[in-house]
Structure 1
Amino acid sequence: MVEKTFAKLPDPKTRNPLVFPDGSHDPATVFLSAVIDHPNIDVGDWTYYNDRTLPEDYASALAPYLFAGAPEHLSIGRFCQIAEGVQIITATANHPMDGISTFPFAVFDPDRMGTFRASLPRGKDTIVGHDCWIGREAVLMPGAELGCGVIVAARAVVRGKIPDYAIVSGNPATVIRMRFTPAEIETLLDIAWWHWPPEKIARHLALIEAGDVAALKACT
């Protein structure tokens, strides 16, 4: 079979990689690695975010409660697709729950704010695997962990660990179905095409875009 290929993948450091036929760039589509510089956020190459509101601060738009130096981190893999309105709620959004009131009094006292943050328990990191598609206005709760190839439906509320290549929806999000058989998922994770050199990915795009796991395995 002769595969149709692109000459090359777009530069993952390009801010606006989507080019219209007239040569103009779509301002709403950004490669996150080009627009996020945050010590607590790691974003893989070719992961894009589409948001027509054109945020000034993409880190704050996605993870509004994750401050620089927070005890937890957000990790997003390569080739993820994130829709407008997605919110990633990290553990530092929590309020104290051991007292009579959950009101964060110390937040409004400059002398106590630092100790308040230090008093909160360390939450789990939030992890988004490679090649995940997160639909419009979905919410990832603190410590959510998405495997590779996960699809999150619009407005789903995700908590806990989601298995590789699952499709989830609802509040709380539950697995609707798996995209591939267990054997195929094991093969795809072994292939890990997202770690291939860009030239190899471009050369085998037809197979990556198709649903034949065995054929993709045969070319490795």
Structure 2
Amino acid sequence: MSTPLFPRSDDKNTCNLREAITNEYIIVGEYTYYHDFEDPLKFQEKNVLYHYPFVNNDRLIVGKFCSIAHGAKFLFNGGNHKQAACSNYPFAIFGELWEHEFGITESWDNKGDIVVGNDVWIGFEALIMAGVTIGNGARIGSRSIVTRDVPPYAVVAGSPAKQIKKRFSDEDIAFLEELRWWDWSEDRIKKDAGLLMGNIASLKQAVGR
């Protein structure tokens, strides 16, 4: 099944994000969508910030079946100022002004990629910082600022974001991590979509657990 740019023909505010991305350093899985009240096709321009992969080789990696709400942003390493430096001022960026030839990356700490797992829900205007990994099935509350890794199937919220709860028991989380339904065939997902929308007991029963 081909994935259309707009998964609902009458809705131009929601796009299948992978189909809208042209930046090779932004990698998005199938069926992950982004909703924007204005123009979702400007995601890589308006929502991926301070991203200079030609300098850092840092990437935004988003898994399959993620839900990303309006205004969620991913703040990359170029927005950092070097933690260990005596001054917060980025002299290397303004080397011409100060008559020095510093390497531009001397102005910031490189914390690496931002990695978002599969089936993650990122709420309205959440902010994900460089170097963060978000586990499968996690939920990120609206306007949260995520500065640390988020475990699979955790619910986090706040500024900075803290874990509020786990969505399921440890046993059920392990089951879902092993099941990896997002890697099923399209035919199987079509057949079992109702189970995926239901409770975990019914899903476990259906797959013989």
Which range, TM-score by smaller chain?
0.7 to 0.9
Alpha-carbon deviations, 1:100-152, whole Å to 9, x = none?
Answer: 43222433456978821366443221111100000001111121111000011
Of the three residues 131, 136, 139, the one matched with 1:148 is: 136
Aligned residue for 1:16? 6
Of the three residues 30, 39, 42, the one matched with 1:57 is: 42
Query: Aligned equivalents of 2:182 and 2:205: distance in 1?
Result: 14
Of the three residues 15, 30, 33, the one matched with 2:15 is: 30
Of the three residues 18, 24, 33, the one matched with 1:39 is: 24
Query: Aligned equivalents of 1:219 and 1:90: distance in 2?
Result: 40
Query: Aligned equivalents of 1:17 and 1:113: distance in 2?
Result: 49
Aligned residue for 2:127? 139
Aligned residue for 1:206? 194
State the SS of the aligned residue for 1:174: strand
Q: Match for 2:73: what amino acid?
A: Q
Q: Match for 1:74: what amino acid?
A: L
Query: Aligned equivalents of 1:96 and 1:159: distance in 2?
Result: 16
- Cα RMSD between the aligned structures? 2.3
Cα shift at 1:162: 0.9
Aligned residue for 1:22? none
TM-score by length of 1: 0.84
Contact preservation (8 Å) 1:86, 1:136: yes
Contact preservation (8 Å) 1:88, 1:140: yes
Query: Aligned equivalents of 2:153 and 2:171: distance in 1?
Result: 12
Of the three residues 141, 164, 171, the one matched with 1:183 is: 171
Aligned residue for 1:161? 149
1:103 and 2:89 are equivalent in the alignment: yes
Q: Which shifted more, 35-44 or 79-88?
A: 35-44
Of the three residues 67, 86, 91, the one matched with 2:52 is: 67
Aligned residue for 1:197? 185
State the SS of the aligned residue for 1:207: helix
Query: Aligned equivalents of 1:62 and 1:135: distance in 2?
Result: 13
Distance 1:97 1:205, change over 3 A: closer
Contact preservation (8 Å) 2:92, 2:107: no
Q: Percent identity?
A: 30
State the SS of the aligned residue for 1:183: helix
Distance 1:30 1:219, change over 3 A: same
**Which structure carries more relative contact order (alpha carbon 8 Å, separation 6+)?**
1
Query: Aligned equivalents of 1:133 and 1:114: distance in 2?
Result: 40
Query: Aligned equivalents of 2:169 and 2:85: distance in 1?
Result: 48
Query: Aligned equivalents of 2:82 and 2:166: distance in 1?
Result: 37
Q: What number of residue pairs does the alignment pair up?
A: 205
State the SS of the aligned residue for 1:204: helix
